[in-house]
Amino acid sequence: MIFYMNKKYELLGVETSPELIWLDFSVDNKEEAITKMATKLKKSGLVKDDFTQAVLNREKKFCTGLQFDNIGVAIPHTEAKYVNQPAVSIAILRNPVQFGDMGNPETEISVQLIFMLAIKEPDKQLYFLQGLINGLQDSKKLNNLMHQKNKEEMLSYLSEIFK
């Protein structure tokens, strides 16, 4: 069953909705964050049953943490074969959790913002990753994003940043 997203927003060509957003997301570690976010995508019918484990396995091999000024961001994702319908889920964390640095896996980054990608086309995934990284390099916009208190306002703001 494919989940119907009540109000859809588009970020760099990938749909999302308020149902896939967490503000003040409370988790104890990256595994819990990935599992909760992936489970929501799975329950929505957007990803296959083995998506969660595939993301966790990929994160062990290829870390997705990035440091932008004073805010750590993680972009967990996996291969397209685990995706039914493209989507992105976003979480602003109540307390940071540790992710390995994408460029230096031995280094831990305190992540406060997670973008979980479920993208079917490899070219689109690369496009999304490049656009996301470029957009997050503006520290003023990133700080404004971190202070959003309403899911729809956050998605509208993100749509403006990444148009």
pLDDT by 10-residue block (mean), the chain, 163 residues: 54 84 96 98 95 97 94 96 94 97 94 95 82 88 91 87 74
For position 7, what pLDDT does the model report?
63
Q: How far apart are CA 142 and CA 70, in angstroms?
A: 10
C-alpha to C-alpha distances, 13 to 9, 74, 86, 88, 144, nearest whole angstrom? 9, 19, 9, 10, 22
Residue 6 is predicted with a pLDDT of 54
Backbone angles phi, psi at 34, to 5 degrees: -60, -45
pTM of the model: 0.92
Sign of CA dihedral 143, 149, 151, 155: negative
